[in-house]
Amino acid sequence: MDTKRTHPLLIAASIAVILACGVGIAAMLGVLPKGQASNADQTAAMQTTAEQAAADKKAAEKESVKKAAVEHHKTVASESSKQQVASVCHDCGKIVDVKAVKVEGDGSGLGAVAGGVAGGAIGNQMGAGNGRTAMTLLGAVGGAVLGNKIEKNYKASTIYEVEVAFDDGTHNQYKFQERPYWQVGDRVKVVNGKITAM
């Protein structure tokens, strides 16, 4: 018995038709991605790109203007600070402290001599023999030191120190033999080493 076999070309053609139908159905259902954008999509994409380029250009111009404004502001501030530094009065300032300071006087030696004699006389009144001699020496030395100190205190004086804080940030002290009439907070100017009113 003869069996008829299907020709291989016929099978291949059938498979091709089935595949073509499947692809067509998938395309109609939207399952397959579109290979090319439509003209409308291409136009929209080009328009978006042009708008983005314009926006980027505008942003760059804005940034450039902003940088120029900042640089100008820095220049103006720098010039202003230079003028302020130049206009600072280095001799002008404010009184920040006024205090009385006791200054010990100079000893002439008379106080030490007088104290030594008096101390030796008092020490001689104490003890006996070698003890009296030691007490006389101690009295003389102690009396001399004490007499010198008493003389210096007697000749002590009071001076007044006035501290000025200058506008340039420096400080200096000025000494007066008598109580000055300057008070803390007074604005002053120093001319030739002397404090004067502003």
Q: What is the pLDDT of residues 93-121, one digit of tens each?
A: 999 998 888 877 777 777 666 666 766 67
CB 170 within 8 A of CB 141: no
The answer to whether the predicted template modeling score (pTM) of the entire model surpasses 0.75 is no
| Residues near 26 by beta carbon (within 8 Å), at least 6 away in sequence | 32
Strands (E), 28-133: 92-103
Neighbour order of strands in the sheet with 157-166: 171-176, 157-166, 92-103, 187-191, 194-197
Mean pLDDT, rounded, for 6-31:
75
Most confident of 19-23, 131-135, 137-141, 189-193: 189-193
Q: What is the structure's pLDDT at 187?
A: 92
Q: What is the structure's pLDDT at 84?
A: 55
| Mean per-residue pLDDT of the chain | 76
pLDDT tens-digit series, residues 120-173? 677 667 767 777 777 777 766 776 777 777 777 777 788 889 999 988 888 888
Question: CA-based diameter of the chain, in Å?
Answer: 173
- Is pLDDT of 81 > 80? no
Q: What is the structure's pLDDT at 19?
A: 76
Upper half-sphere CA count for residue 183 (Cβ side, 13 Å): 0
Q: What is the structure's pLDDT at 119?
A: 64
Give me the residues paired with residue 174 across strands. 162
Q: Who wins on pLDDT, 85 or 49?
A: 49
pLDDT band at 53 (very low <50, low <70, confident <90, very high): confident
- The secondary structure of residue 98, as a DSSP letter, is E
